[in-house]
Amino acid sequence: MKGIFIAVEGIDGAGKGYIMMKLQEYITGRSKKYDHVLLTREPTNSNIGQKMREILAKEDDPKSGARKCLDLYVSDRKQHLENHILPALEKGYVVLCDRYKYSTMAFQAAQGIPLEELIEIQKDFLVPHLTLILDLPARQAIARIKYRDWQGGKEKFEDPTFMETVRQNYLLIANKLPDPITIIDAGQDKQETFKQVKQAIEKKGILPY
């Protein structure tokens, strides 16, 4: 595997979009060797991913349909890995993925599926060189979502109590798993948050050039 795989995680409203954009800029600006960056996300735009997005827009209760959600997210990820992530890494790309298997651990555990089971069914999915978890209190994230989507409807998982459980699950996962995961304080302004992201990348030494 010649490429570098970085995942960005966090509750809704954590600011992943901005961090993904800045990361791409930072990495491509660093060296000509990083001209090829794949910016990608889950759920994807595949049929399965689109089905999931419909459910997110339509349903209200964050805890309903946990098994169905699990099934769709994991099938979508399997295809994403086989068709996009692994081929790009083979070609030496830097792959930046907005949400990955840790989303399934944090969200579907909050829906009531045991965390151990979520870890087990995803144990063969490639571990990123670094996963950044953007951490902030759910109430702060909700305020950002309301500001951003003031005309849009509420999505299935955008419930304050549910989101705080997801947040706690992320913190638990970061402690429990041996995977390289760094928690970033995303409760401050976005430039400060990005500074921390850069520091985490430097500290891990995952970009040799």
* Positions that interact with ligand TMP (CB under 6 A): 12, 42-43, 56, 73, 99, 103-104, 107-108, 155, 157
Residue 194 CB neighbours (<10 A) = 20
Quick one: 92 or 179, whose CB is closer to ligand TMP? Answer: 179
The residue with its CB nearest to ligand TMP is 107
Q: Is 16 left (phi over 0), alpha (psi -120 to 50) or beta?
A: alpha
Q: Minimum Å distance from CB 43 to ligand TMP?
A: 5
Tokens of 15: 């600011």
Quick one: 142 or 207, whose CB is closer to ligand TMP? Answer: 142
Quick one: 34 or 157, whose CB is closer to ligand TMP? Answer: 157
Q: Minimum Å distance from CB 69 to ligand TMP?
A: 6
Tokens of 108: 């579907």
Q: Minimum Å distance from CB 57 to ligand TMP?
A: 10
Quick one: 42 or 135, whose CB is closer to ligand TMP? Answer: 42
Quick one: 70 or 207, whose CB is closer to ligand TMP? Answer: 70
Q: Minimum Å distance from CB 157 to ligand TMP?
A: 4
Q: Minimum Å distance from CB 123 to ligand TMP?
A: 15
Q: Is 13 left (phi over 0), alpha (psi -120 to 50) or beta?
A: left
Measured in whole angstroms, the distance separating CA 177 from the mean position of its chain's CA atoms is: 16
Q: How many helices (H) and strands (E) does the chain have?
A: 9, 5
Of 99, 52, 53, 98, which is closest to residue 71 (Cα–Cα)?
A: 52
Q: Any idea what DSSP says for residue 33?
A: G
